[in-house]
Structure 1
Amino acid sequence: MERTGLLPFPGSRQLKLKKSFKLGICSLPMTCSKEVLNSLHENIEDEFESICLETQAGTILDTVDQLVEEQSLDSLCSDKTDVGDVWQNVSTVKKNEIQHLTGVLQMAEEHKRVMRARVERLKKELQEFSGSADVIEKIKTGILDCNGTSNNSKLHDLQLL
């Protein structure tokens, strides 16, 4: 069973297959002479090698080795990044974000309500103040009309109000 220069170095799976086969045929109980036994083993090994070449078992096993190695190096193929887990994590983050934004919106609406109430209160106070200013102006005008301009001290007292 000699290797030709055309075949690439076999991968670990291919080597394990060949080793297992050799161990299997060595353990066959044979009641033949040593020469017949050696010849039979060589024939079986050659036939096995021929079948492996025809079916490209070695090449397939080497490809499997390469794919396994690539997947172990690829972080997306690891068990830690299962698509379902990623979806669940993204879903949880989005739900938390929605709850946070809902809370912010409710706080903004409450602040808006408080500010509107304050504006309304200030408008009422302004109207009350405006009405009071009109009353004071009418009182001043009435006093001036009644007493004339000679009673400046009473007018001065009213202005202090």
Structure 2
Amino acid sequence: MYDNRIEITSPGKLIPPLTIATLESANPLHRNKIICDIFSKTGYMEHYGTGISRMKKTMLEEGLKEPKFEEMGEFFKVTLWARDENTIDPELYKNNRNPLDKLGLNERQIKAFALMVNENKTFTINNYLNCFEISRVTASKDLNKLESLNLINKVKKGRSYIYYVK
């Protein structure tokens, strides 16, 4: 267990023909059928092979990153990511899974906000418009909306403003 994740490592590779890429689509395979039957009959495990898909779906619904599955030599490892209030994963914002969508933010604003949070990036109007290849008016509107929602601050530096995460 770590502050930002739980790692579960199990001895043994995936049972052929399973691969990381086919975990969700392949027919379920059980290394120890007797243990699986006992767990299934006692209600601790389902027997249908939907666990990986349900795990991914649940993590995404909760605003968390998808679990990470790895084969490491003779071991199989699953990493379950914790909720981290300081990290925004831009991948979570695809397919209307974005809680910032409810605030009326566009993709540029979401990406910029994620960069500000995750990489401590700051923006001026000029570098924002260059980054997203948009007009000065659009850049100003985008950044001012983020500021009006109290997601970012701005400070005057010379003749321009620097926008940054609170």
With the shorter chain as reference, the TM-score category is under 0.3
Task: Give 1 or 2 for the bigger CA radius of gyration.
Answer: 1
TM-score between both structures, scaled by the size of structure 2: 0.20
- Kindly indicate which of the two structures has a greater share of residues assigned to strand: 2
- Kindly indicate which of the two structures has a greater share of residues assigned to helix: 1
